[in-house]
Structure 1
């Protein structure tokens, strides 16, 4: 969500999409509030949490060791993220669902989501963005996850 505000305020890009695509997972942490380290931590947390939900008898420390161990799931973190949390009938539909969910987080009028978003935006001083700008950031997030997954 921070990158949505950053993308709107970024003046050195032609579009909000271009800014978001560059800023999401940027390798230089001084350039983006949602740099590669932040992206990986978020992706890994979702992946490890998903495994824990499926296998709640194994201690968390063992799940973490398995995830980061030799040939662990971290080697395919973006693919696992898509498959475990957003899988639909095929890969393209899965990416579309990911984009829909990202758009919902950024724009939804659902009372609980909107309240949580307002608290987050206030706590992290996120700049105002329109619904259309939120949609473009969600599209960029989808494309970044697809780009990073293709590297695995």
Structure 2
């Protein structure tokens, strides 16, 4: 995993939730009924749903749990868009007979810090610990199919009956 930059308290909290540096992959003691590759929105929902129905489930993520939505897409963009909307409202305040003093400016570093804080605060929902508590075995590393019933993750062989590939898509 690449280090999250800047190394502020918010990115450290995010990392502690969605790719803890001290995480130890479990050792499988029997075949999984379901292995999910990819811990983005689709993979997390699939793993949680199957575990909730009593299946023995493993999820594999090579980078950050939460996928694009939490880490670079939906959540970060909405945080930045919210700040942009406020800035536009202030800029256009005189249209509503609200006088805002000249010299009001956007602190982009502050906007980005707020975005990282918001992302970190909700990252517990996609955290390795939460999914472990749901009964899902969480593995970090690159998944490789060895055959139709075995996946390798960082040298550990995971036997399985069914697999879901939820690694995202491209247009």
TM-score by length of 2: 0.25
Q: Which has the higher contact order (CA 8 A, sep 6+)?
A: 2
Structure 1 or 2: more strand by fraction = 2
Who wins on radius of gyration, i.e. which is larger?
Answer: 2
Structure 1 or 2: more helix by fraction = 1
